[in-house]
Structure 1
Amino acid sequence: MLTATNGAPYLGCGLGVALLAFTSWRDDTHPLSPQLRLLVQLISASLACLPLLFSINVNPLWGAAVVLGIMWLINLYNFMDGTDALAGAQGLIFTLGVLMLFPEYGSAEALLLIVTSSAITAFLIFNWPPAKIFMGDVGSTVLGLIFGFITLQIAETFNQLAACLILLAGFITDASWTLAARFLNRQRVWEAHRLHYYQKMARKFASHKAPLATYLLLGALVQWPLALGALHATSWYWTLYLLAAITIHALLCWQYRAGLTDPKDCLASPETFTSN
């Protein structure tokens, strides 16, 4: 495992979480500029990953790529928190998947996974449709940072990295596809919208439970087995498992025209299933 010999990575992650949570809380109550939010995300991601990367002498270019990757995970998790219990369900797919499938991890990683999954489970009791409380930017951005940190801590091989990405494939694929589609169609990608496939699915079935059930079923019946396959794949065959997980969610993006505006999207009320 890419584990430092001291507690610096966990101290850095804790500081990053605290900074990101405070800023996200301020943004929830008094909207902040996108530039300030991105700066805070850059600092938080750097605090979470650079102590570990420096301790193992990672090339600075790879270090920069990791920081940008974690920043994207922070943002996409925020984008995808738009219907009841979905972000929590994705969180359990990841944390429980790592706890069950990975061959080994340190006691610190196990504790972080158990605490995070327990907190998510408790939250879901009140966030289950119809939700009584909501995650907000504080919860969604922090989960994105924590999952990026956990991935960095336990992914020693490409197989293990692929397994982590497979467990997060739903959010990664929908958010990336939707952003790309909106950019290519010259939409204002920084503005709130209702164009993710999970949002369109929720509108089609007039229920938050439709995307929630889809994610839970795909996570347990498809992504967990694919992640297990990637962990034990020989040579570069882990790419096939990762591609399969991405393709399944990409097909749903294609089916629901994620990122593209339809007439019925224009008629939907602005407060319904909106992503930041």
Structure 2
Amino acid sequence: MLLLSTVTLLLAAVLTGLIRRYALTYKVLDIPNQRSSHSVPTPRGGGLAIVLAFSVAMLWLFFDRQLTGTSLALLGSTLLVAAIGFCDDHGEVAARWRFLTHLLAAIIALELLGGLPVVLVPAPFDALFGRLSVNPGWLGYPLGALFLVWALNLFNFMDGTDGIAASEALFVSSALAGYLFFIDQSLCGVALSLAAACSGFLLWNWPKAKIFMGDVGSGFIGLLLGLLILLAAQQAAVLLYCGLILFGAFIVDASYTLAVRMFSRQKWYAAHCSHTYQHAAKRFGHLPVLLASWAINCGWLLPVSLWIFKHPSHALAGVIVAYLPLIYLAYRFKAGQSELVVS
């Protein structure tokens, strides 16, 4: 595992440098506009390095007999999203084609996965009805598709300041790998490979970023993290709740912002810069926001997820407790509103 992670990290770092040179040569740049968090044209599409390095790691695990063909095919569905993202980074792709590709990738993944896993519903419900297992059956497909497509898109929405998306992926995948180490070594290797690939890219994306991830990376990682959470939940139902908590900073910010924009009758589907982290970055700068994100993840969300991992009966309460301060932050920073007015 250590050798694989090291090779993946180094490969991602080298590939990111090469892709940056390519982007500068062929003018694949993110040009600043009124919605941007940066002020100078910056190369984009560096997430391709994460895709390539991670794919090499998956082939390594497969040929080392640590990954089944079904698992490889399942994770390969993310390449569809990476492909449409790559095209979008080089020339805008219509939103309907992006959405259809995202939906197709989610459906393929769910078909290979067999729908949503059986979910254990913890206290207080089990105190009333006994230990309750919910098998979503055919509903697992629409619910699973909704979860995966939302995970994919929210990650894309949240990729807007230096280092934040790669850091989130590194945190969530590393924490999941820690849990899976005791449950499923093959899935642990997958999660560690993603963490290593994101670490190599982050060397170039840390403030002040020398290259941006682009849609090729953000969509790929968002779908992959959603799949990892579902795959982990197949091994232990409590890991569904752990995953939702670990991913909480992105889930709450993106969901709260979207809800505010919809209920205030804004064009919620249009590009904007009104997420909590974007308002905070305008006020405090990229690096302080990134460090605050790490502090929230490691100092709050990780301990709460550890608690429910050890005490699964507290899972629902743990999700609520984990999310409440994040919802307050979104409220405090006026997420979803165009103008930054902090009370």
TM over 0.5: yes
Report the CA distance shift for 1:54/1:91 in structure 2 as closer, same or farther (over 3 A): closer
Aligned pair count reads 258
**Structure whose alpha-carbon radius of gyration is higher:** 2
Q: TM-score, normalised by structure 1?
A: 0.88
Which residue number in structure 1 is paired with residue 27 of structure 2? none
Q: SS at 1:155's partner residue? A: helix
Deviations 1:118-163 (A, max 9, x none): 1100111000000001100011000011101111111145422110
Report the CA distance shift for 1:45/1:54 in structure 2 as closer, same or farther (over 3 A): closer
Report the CA distance shift for 1:10/1:55 in structure 2 as closer, same or farther (over 3 A): farther
Which residue number in structure 1 is paired with residue 244 of structure 2? 165
In the alignment, structure 2 segments of 5+ residues that lack a partner are 1-66, 118-134
Q: TM-score, normalised by structure 2?
A: 0.71
Give the Cα separation in 1 of the matches to 2:136 and 2:231: 14
1:80 to 158, 168, 172: 158
Which residue number in structure 2 is paired with residue 269 of structure 1? none
Which residue number in structure 2 is paired with residue 268 of structure 1? none
Which residue number in structure 2 is paired with residue 21 of structure 1? 82
The Cα of 1:186 is off from its aligned counterpart by: 0.7
Tell me which amino acid in the other structure corresponds to 1:258.
A
Residue pairs, 1:220-239, within 5 angstroms: 220-235=298-313, 237-239=314-316
Give the Cα separation in 2 of the matches to 1:180 and 1:169: 16
Which residue number in structure 2 is paired with residue 30 of structure 1? 91
Deviations 1:69-101 (A, max 9, x none): 000000000000000000011112101111224
Is the 1:10–1:48 Cα contact (8 Å) retained in structure 2?
Answer: no
The Cα of 1:49 is off from its aligned counterpart by: 2.4
Tell me which amino acid in the other structure corresponds to 1:131.
A
Report the CA distance shift for 1:162/1:263 in structure 2 as closer, same or farther (over 3 A): closer
Residue pairs, 1:1-276, within 5 angstroms: 7-14=69-76, 16-53=77-114, 59-102=137-180, 104-156=182-234, 157-205=236-284, 207-235=285-313, 237-262=314-339
Work out the percentage of aligned pairs sharing the same amino acid. Answer: 31
Is the 2:151–2:226 Cα contact (8 Å) retained in structure 1?
Answer: yes
Report the CA distance shift for 1:54/1:182 in structure 2 as closer, same or farther (over 3 A): closer
Tell me which amino acid in the other structure corresponds to 2:271.
A
In the alignment, structure 1 segments of 5+ residues that lack a partner are 266-276
Is the 2:106–2:148 Cα contact (8 Å) retained in structure 1?
Answer: yes
Deviations 1:172-207 (A, max 9, x none): 0000000000001111111111100000000011x1
Which residue number in structure 2 is paired with residue 274 of structure 1? none
Tell me which moved more, 106-115 or 248-257. Answer: 106-115
CA root-mean-square deviation: 2.1
The Cα of 1:108 is off from its aligned counterpart by: 2.3
Is the 2:177–2:188 Cα contact (8 Å) retained in structure 1?
Answer: yes
The Cα of 1:21 is off from its aligned counterpart by: 0.8
Is the 1:202–1:211 Cα contact (8 Å) retained in structure 2?
Answer: yes
Give the Cα separation in 2 of the matches to 1:13 and 1:93: 19
Give the Cα separation in 2 of the matches to 1:135 and 1:17: 16
Q: SS at 2:114's partner residue? A: helix
